[in-house]
């Protein structure tokens, strides 16, 4: 079941709601530059196991409205709050991949964990996607600047290159084309704007310290986008967190090792 939820007077985001009467709700926040469809191989399986799965397309991506502004973590986490309130969600698991993980962590801090019983981070861009003077891990600023430049110059080429580094092992041509199309659905300006947030002051060190709920960290050791030391920093910075390394995964661990991913997520929710 899909529908739209208003998050600002002139902005609506698209929500896919599977198995609304499920025993436990998982709200999924996708990574850049995809949509909720990235979680297809979770949505195929988890509702069959009795879970309610809600996928949100962030503004500018997927089937959501594409305003020209509003792509900082504060605004994107406020959009999530609007979805949570509209659907009256309580005691749910908030799951976020990559930039979606960063938005989830900002939500936890900014909205005081509103409605969330558990947090799950998948290859999250936390605490910082880029290297900083006080954080020697992550991508270089130059690498992100190149992504932004290519977004404005030849976005399809940039997306192809990003897809090539996303998964750990060989993916078929048709699957690569599917992943490519997800990125093309986004607005170019939204794609660049979110990438620009990584370069600015968007870091989540203090946000992590405000998280009190049980937290699961799933991260591929071969991740070339959000490098594995980010996961170790998350475990160090978030109380009551568990880190599960994925030995045969890159950034797309929800596909690279989808059976293990689904199993670990369900075990965490039941624990």
Are 145 and 195 in contact by the 8 Å Cβ rule? The answer is no
Alpha-carbon span 244 to 214, nearest angstrom: 14
Is 98 labeled as catalytic in the residue annotation? yes
What pLDDT score does 80 carry?
A: 98
% the chain with pLDDT above 90: 96
Instruction: Give backbone dihedrals phi and psi of 7, rounded to 5 degrees, phi first.
Output: -115, -15
What pLDDT score does 169 carry?
A: 85
Query: How many domains would you assign to the chain?
Result: 1
Considering the candidates 35, 77, 98, 249, report the single residue annotated as catalytic: 98
Alpha-carbon span 233 to 215, nearest angstrom: 13
- Dihedral through CA 134, CA 239, CA 106, CA 139, nearest 10? 40
Tens of pLDDT, residues 23-41: 999 999 999 999 999 999 9
Using CB atoms within 10 Å of the CB of residue 170, give its burial: 0 to 12 exposed, 13 to 18 middle, 19+ buried: exposed
What pLDDT score does 160 carry?
A: 96
Considering the candidates 57, 223, 249, 256, report the single residue annotated as catalytic: 223
What pLDDT score does 202 carry?
A: 80
Tens of pLDDT, residues 120-171: 999 999 999 999 999 999 999 999 999 999 999 999 999 999 999 999 988 9
What pLDDT score does 12 carry?
A: 98
Lowest mean pLDDT among 16-25, 77-86, 200-209, 249-258: 200-209
What pLDDT score does 9 carry?
A: 95
Alpha-carbon span 265 to 95, nearest angstrom: 9
pLDDT exceeds cutoff 90 at 1: no
Instruction: Give backbone dihedrals phi and psi of 206, rounded to 5 degrees, phi first.
Output: -70, -30
% the chain with pLDDT above 70: 100
CATH number at residue 86: 3.40.50.1820
What pLDDT score does 199 carry?
A: 87
Alpha-carbon span 80 to 13, nearest angstrom: 9
Using CB atoms within 10 Å of the CB of residue 182, give its burial: 0 to 12 exposed, 13 to 18 middle, 19+ buried: buried
User: Which pair of structure tokens corresponds to residue 87?
Assistant: 């659907």
* Domain range enclosing 145: 2-270
Considering the candidates 30, 36, 219, 251, report the single residue annotated as catalytic: 251
């Amino acid at each position: 079941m899909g529908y739209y939820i208003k998050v600002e007077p002139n902005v609506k985001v698209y929500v896919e709601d599977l198995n609304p009467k499920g025993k436990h709700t998982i709200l999924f926040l996708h990574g850049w530059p995809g949509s909720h469809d990235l979680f297809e191989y979770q949505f195929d399986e988890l509702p069959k196991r009795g879970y309610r799965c809600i996928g949100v397309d962030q503004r500018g991506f997927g089937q959501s409205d594409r305003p020209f502004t509003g792509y900082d973590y504060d605004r994107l986490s406020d959009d999530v709050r609007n979805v949570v309130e509209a659907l009256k969600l309580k005691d749910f698991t908030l799951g976020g991949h990559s930039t979606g993980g960063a938005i989830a962590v900002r939500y936890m801090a900014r909205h005081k964990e509103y409605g969330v019983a558990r947090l799950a981070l998948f290859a999250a861009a936390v605490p910082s996607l880029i290297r900083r003077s006080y954080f020697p891990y992550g991508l270089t600023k130059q690498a992100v600047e190149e992504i932004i430049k290519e977004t404005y110059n030849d976005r399809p080429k940039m997306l192809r290159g990003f897809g090539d580094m996303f998964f750990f092992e060989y993916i078929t041509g048709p699957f690569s084309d599917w992943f490519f199309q997800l990125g093309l659905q986004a607005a170019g300006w939204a794609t660049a704007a979110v990438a620009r947030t990584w370069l600015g002051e968007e870091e989540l060190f203090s946000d992590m310290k405000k998280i009190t709920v049980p937290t699961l960290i799933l991260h591929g050791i071969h991740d070339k986008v959000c490098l594995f030391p980010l996961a170790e920093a998350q475990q160090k910075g978030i109380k009551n967190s568990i880190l599960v390394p994925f030995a045969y995964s890159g950034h797309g661990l929800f596909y690279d090792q989808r059976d293990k991913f689904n199993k670990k997520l369900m075990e965490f929710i039941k624990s």
